A = this chain, B = another copy of it.
Amino acid sequence: MDKILMGPQTLIYPMPVLLVGANVDDKPNFMAVAWSGIANGEPPMISVAIRHNRYTHRGIRQNLTFSVNVPSTDMVRETDYCGIISGSKVNKVEVCQFKVFYGILDNAPLIEQCPINLECKVVHILDLGSHSLIVGRIEETHISESYLTDGKPDVNKIKPLTYTTAPASQYQTLGEVIAKAFNIGKELKLIP
């Protein structure tokens, strides 16, 4: 066996790149987040891990709502920008020219240019150390019609970004489809 130990690591598999939004002091702000995950099926929930001192964190605590926006590859500059600089210093909406809209929640700002937008209500905040793990119930999902094929979201049009860090921090597109899920594994049952 050729395994070596690397100590506790958080950054060694690909993660979806998302823009998390909140109104901070009543103004929309967005940050780039790679540390997120679906947290529950019924009802649908999502978790995001955010450092305590982040500006967006303040907004989420103020309203107990947030948004999750899925950017497309053509928004990689804006997405990265939202991960570099704090909303306490610049108006990111202005710099990135985001068209902001609101859905069924009054204070979870959504980005029109992102193909997919989730509106979330906070149900749990776990203080885990450097970060809060914020669990939100997904109240509504918006998708731009131009990213659908036959009425269904189409990943080939959405062109989401992934964040990888091995060996360097970078954004990658998705590659080829290699197998159907809940299907190709059936081939194995025939062997034993």
Q: Which residues of A come within 8 Å of B, CB atoms?
A: 1-16, 18, 34-49, 51, 70, 73, 76-85, 94-96, 99, 101, 103, 112, 116-118, 123-124, 126, 128-131, 133, 135, 137-146, 148-150, 152-155, 158, 160-164, 166-189, 191-192
Contact = CB atoms under 8 A, between A and B. Distances in A.
A10 to B, nearest CB: 4
How many copies of this chain are found per oligomer?
2
A1 B112 contact: yes
Contact of A184 (B80, B116, B146): B80
Contact of A95 (B141, B143, B191): B191
A167 B141 contact: no
B174 A162 contact: yes
Contact of A179 (B80, B117, B126, B129): B80
Contacts of A51: 41
A96 B122 CA distance: 40
Contact of A188 (B4, B77, B130): B77
Nearest to A37: B37
A44 B181 contact: no
Contacts of A79: 185
B178 A172 contact: yes
Contact of A44 (B10, B14, B192): B10
B166 A158 contact: yes
B172 A176 contact: yes
A161 to B, nearest CB: 8
Nearest to A3: B142
Contacts of A182: 80, 83-84, 169
Contact of A175 (B2, B143, B175): B175
